[in-house]
Amino acid sequence: RRALAIDETSFGPEHPNVARDLNNLAGLLQATNRLAEAEPLMRRALAIGEKAYVPGHPMVALLQENLGGFYKAQKRIGDAQPLLEAALAIKEKAFGPADPRLAYSLTQLGDLYRLQGQCARADPLFLRARAIGAGTLREVPVLFGTDRKRDEKEAGVAFGGERAGLSFGLVIVSVPTAAARTAPRPAGRDGAAEITETQRLAMACIEVVEDRRAVEAARSRIAAATAYPRQAFVFVHGYNVTFDNALRRAAQIANDIGFDGGVFLFSWPSRGRLLDYFSDRETVDLATLHLRQFLDRIVAETDVAKVHFVAHSMGNMVLLRALERIAGDGARPRPALGEIVTAAPDIDPDLFAEMTSAIRARGGAFTLYASRGDWALRLSGWMRDRTRAGFIGEKPLIVPGVDTIDVTAAGTGLFSLNHDIYASSPVLVADMRRIIEAGERPPDKRTREFERLDTKEGTYWRLRRAQAAP
């Protein structure tokens, strides 16, 4: 905001630099879900750009693309389509049809057509982006299992918030690289990871498949892995998450930690709205059964040697219950349990300790990310009159064999829920990468960002506060 104010004073309110500042600020607001504040800034930036630049200028295309992507994320199809189509047309004329700078635009428009159920228009755009976008795009195949009900009202393949039987599928998620970035990133801590903005990810048409084809697709991906040979990564989301956003989050984490093995998502029928937070808990038992079936029928059949897990919020209850039951069943050989990252677990502390103890008896190494600033868990604990495992009240939860890390310092601000910082903090994403890559312990050994604290209850670690810039 300071840069915007300076440029408005120095150059006037209609200068291209002001459009750039508005675009950058709107992107930051969108990333923190402050959508009502972001939209008018994007609209103003585009209006300035259309006046300041000649028709067909690439900067106008960029501003159109950002506003169109914003509308697409809100499923405002009628608003998004003319902007995304116009942006692509400008870039094709300015750069030529085979320029890598078109790849991101192609995937964004393809994603829009997917939402309309127009796969015949979407698929060629993704194929074209793949052919020309080697330096600007990565593709993350995500294999999913879900017990959400198909939403037949949607034009394309979509899953809503109601319960159903278990189904499987796959989707290719296109992830823009740093070369395709439309706004500068602020400087971060040393060793921090690059965080992909989930709203910039695009998905090809979702395929629902039989379990045999899902296994074959996963085996192909796993066989090609070099950084993580014969390894799989399973993500289980928490509350207030739509199916599409769960897919994007799984792909974002896998991309940002550099995971090239099998990427799996289990999506349970979270209703995707904040006020449904407590009703989501009623579906946990059924989701636990279906997650176990997903792990047995798909993940275990891919011949992986090791499986890593990341779960968030109430997704931890689904995951830990499933792993606890698997740990008690020694009837068949299974892949080894690798790293288990429990982010902001909305679980009773005693139950968390009991379940992790049972799972550790069979293998697996636990990391617990907890915070004093997680307002969603604060509310959950207040409603139940008992602090949750992922919330730090008077003191953090310390459990034998679990590395508890106080990540309060990664919080984004007083008015943020601070519930998903595990995936939005560059420091924590980098830590997940180190955990899954090498399993190095204790936490203060793998990074100087954590300090060790010894108490009479045991040892835990704390993320150091970032030093203020001079």
Token look-up 């519930």 returns 419
Q: Name the β-bridge partners of 144.
A: 169, 265
CB atoms within 10 A of CB 209: 15
How far is residue 178's CA from residue 223's CA, in Å, rounded to a whole number? 27
Q: What percent of the chain has pLDDT over 90?
A: 68
How far is residue 71's CA from residue 87's CA, in Å, rounded to a whole number? 14
Q: What is the pLDDT of residue 95?
A: 96
Nearest to 432 by CA among 181, 252, 173: 252
How far is residue 231's CA from residue 92's CA, in Å, rounded to a whole number? 40
How far is residue 323's CA from residue 331's CA, in Å, rounded to a whole number? 14
Give the strand pairing for 159-176 and 336-343.
unpaired
How far is residue 33's CA from residue 28's CA, in Å, rounded to a whole number? 9
- Determine the Cα angle at 337 with ends 331 and 342, to 5°: 125
How far is residue 261's CA from residue 206's CA, in Å, rounded to a whole number? 20
How far is residue 169's CA from residue 160's CA, in Å, rounded to a whole number? 15
Nearest to 295 by CA among 251, 316, 259, 325: 325
Give the ranges where 342-463 is alpha helix by DSSP (H): 349-360, 375-384, 421-424, 426-438, 443-446
For residue 118, the 8-state DSSP code is -
The 10s digit of each residue's pLDDT in 72-116 is 999 999 999 999 999 999 999 999 999 999 999 999 999 999 999
pLDDT of 142 over the 70 cut = yes
The 10s digit of each residue's pLDDT in 393-426 is 989 999 999 999 999 999 765 445 778 899 999 9
Q: What is the pLDDT of residue 240?
A: 78
pLDDT of 228 over the 90 cut = yes
8 A C-beta contact, residue 166 and residue 146: yes
Q: What is the 3-state secondary structure (H, E, C) of 253-294?
A: HHHHCCCCCEEEEEECCCCCCHHHHHHHHHHHHHHHHHHHHH
8 A C-beta contact, residue 312 and residue 270: no
Instruction: Quickly state the pLDDT bin for 258 (edges 50, 70, 90).
Output: very high
* CA separation, residue 20 to residues 14, 123, 162, 361 (Å): 11, 32, 42, 55
Query: What DSSP element (H or E) covers 343?
Result: strand 336-343
Structural domains in the chain plus CATH codes: 2-131 (1.25.40.10), 136-463 (3.40.50)
Query: What DSSP element (H or E) covers 243?
Result: helix 243-256
Give the strand pairing for 306-312 and 450-455.
unpaired
Q: Model's pTM, two decimal places?
A: 0.91
How far is residue 277's CA from residue 271's CA, in Å, rounded to a whole number? 8
Count of H helices and E strands in the chain?
A: 17, 12
Question: Cis (ω within 30 of 0) for the bond into 97?
Answer: no
The 10s digit of each residue's pLDDT in 283-310 is 788 899 999 999 998 998 998 999 999 9
Tokens of 84: 């995304």
For residue 228, the 8-state DSSP code is S
How far is residue 364's CA from residue 307's CA, in Å, rounded to a whole number? 9
Q: What is the pLDDT of residue 187?
A: 44
